[in-house]
Amino acid sequence: MPIPTRLAEVGFGEGSTANYNGAGRSYLVRVLNGNLYLVFIDAFSDVVFTKSTNNGLTWSNVTVISVGSTNALAVWYDRWSGIAGGLIHCAYTDNGVDDILYRSINTESSDALGSQTTVFAGSTAVAGGALSITRGRNGDLRVAGSIDAGTEDGAWSSTDAGATWADTIADPSEAATEDQYLLLPGWNADTADIMLIFWDASVDELSVKRYDDSGNTWAETSIATGMVNLIASLAFPNVAAAVDLANSRNVVVAWTNVDTLNADLRCWIIDDTTITEVTNVVANSTDDQGLCGISIDTASGYWYVFYLGASGGSEIWQTSLNVYYKVSQDSGTTWGPEIKLTSFSGQRLLLLSCPRFTGTPVLGYFLTLNGIQALFVVTEARQPSANYQIGLV
């Protein structure tokens, strides 16, 4: 069902622009018991998390995961890969030590933090790049990233839940500075296989690279050409995905362009053999639209797709935007009406969806408001007297 009209918008003070300009694939996480987790980079460039046990109405004080100079963050949750576990997996690039690091949160054991380990020991980590993490259905963790303008990139694997990263797998990157990575589980008979949604900025093409674990190889298939890249330092992301476990496939949405007349928000179903395009979420945009996120309701199977900007062109890109969403009840064949989610317009530069949820959908965004940049989460308030609320933790 659509998101209720009684909402809470809760802010978390100042955050780092690295939450979006590092092109790190981060998400909100709703765990098995319904609690919500937000992992983010704070104003001190540390990796922290906060938790809500009441559907987003209030949030805990932050817990520090890593103190450092973080410029990219990626997050994955066990159950998005069909694994009956409670770990939230966090990969992050620290330009103080020039490495990609890893640490987990055990949501089923008092939020205990795992040991911090090194995924990749680099030489120089610069602003920008890209980073993504996923867990194969067999349990192997995979990270793909670029930390130094296309000169230090690759993919890495852990077979022991992040304790060690001894395996450097085949490199799916193309040594470019603005390419973007989105790792997902694969659906082959070999449950160690994964896939990478790859945005090739140099040729404006979106493709899927399927990883064969047995052969340690990537096979690339084009999804769509004419996909104009949005630089992550401006806003992020312009492509998003969710795992459809019930149907053994991934669902991907992406804009053909940003703030552009006749741009489309396209949608595909991708498994290990086919790419099937369904109906556009938004067709022939007027302008002033971009960014996206997708969530699947595990109870109903409905797809929720979020984006910035009204389809009528009444808002101003990167200046005065609200978040909108549409719902499909038939796996993308048709989409419901455009519904406004947020209560006030602003400069929103990041969307954080919750790829799989049961209960109430939730969305995060990075907002510049009155000169202050902060992370916000919007969800149902669940209190009788509430309309819209904004609170700072």
DSSP line for 225-263 = E--PPPPTTT-B-SEEEEEEGGGTEEEEEEES-SS-TT-
Q: For 276-291, write each residue's pLDDT tens digit.
A: 999 999 999 999 999 9
The pLDDT of 50-63, averaged and rounded, is 91
Q: Where are the domains of the chain?
A: 7-392
pLDDT for residue 392 is more than 70: no
Residues contacting residue 201 through CB under 8 Å, at least 6 positions apart: 176, 177, 178, 179, 180, 229
Residues contacting residue 199 through CB under 8 Å, at least 6 positions apart: 179, 180, 182, 205, 206, 227, 229, 238, 239, 254
Closest to 190 (Cα-Cα) out of 138, 236, 230: 138
Query: What would the two tokens of residue 184 be?
Result: 């997902």
Question: CA-to-CA distance for 257 and 382, rounded, in angstroms?
Answer: 37
Q: For 326-380, write each residue's pLDDT tens digit.
A: 999 999 999 999 999 988 888 999 999 999 998 888 999 998 777 777 888 887 5
CA 315 to chain centre: 24
How confident is residue 6, by pLDDT bands cut at 50, 70 and 90? very low
Give the other-Cβ count within 10 Å of 190's Cβ: 16
CB-neighbour burial class of residue 274 (10 A; exposed 0-12, middle 13-18, buried 19+): exposed
Q: What is the pTM of this model?
A: 0.94
What is the reported pLDDT for 177? 78
Phi–psi pair at 111, nearest 5 degrees: 60, 35
How confident is residue 387, by pLDDT bands cut at 50, 70 and 90? very low
Query: What would the two tokens of residue 375 be?
Result: 């992370």
Give the other-Cβ count within 10 Å of 42's Cβ: 20
Q: For 155-203, write each residue's pLDDT tens digit.
A: 999 999 999 998 889 999 997 778 999 999 999 999 999 999 999 999 9
What is the arrangement of strands in the sheet containing 153-158, beginning at the earlier edge strand? Answer: 130-135, 141-146, 153-158, 167-169
What is the arrangement of strands in the sheet containing 28-30, beginning at the earlier edge strand? Answer: 28-30, 36-41, 47-52, 63-66
| Range scoring the smallest mean pLDDT among 150-154, 177-181, 261-265 | 150-154
What is the reported pLDDT for 8? 59
Q: How far is CA 347 from CA 35, 128, 288, in A?
A: 28, 20, 12
CATH homologous superfamily of 7-392? Fucose-specific lectin (2.120.10.70)
Q: For 103-142, write each residue's pLDDT tens digit.
A: 999 999 999 999 999 999 988 887 778 999 999 999 999 9
Question: CA-to-CA distance for 231 and 214, rounded, in angstroms?
Answer: 34
pLDDT for residue 383 is more than 60: no
pLDDT for residue 390 is more than 50: no
pLDDT for residue 385 is more than 70: no
> What is the number of H-type helices and E-type strands within the chain?
1, 31
What is the reported pLDDT for 120? 95
Residue 257: DSSP 8-state: -
What is the reported pLDDT for 178? 87
Q: For 208-260, write each residue's pLDDT tens digit.
A: 999 999 999 999 999 999 999 999 999 999 999 999 999 999 999 999 999 99
pLDDT for residue 40 is more than 90: yes
What is the reported pLDDT for 15? 80
What is the reported pLDDT for 357? 93
Share of the chain above pLDDT 70, in %: 92
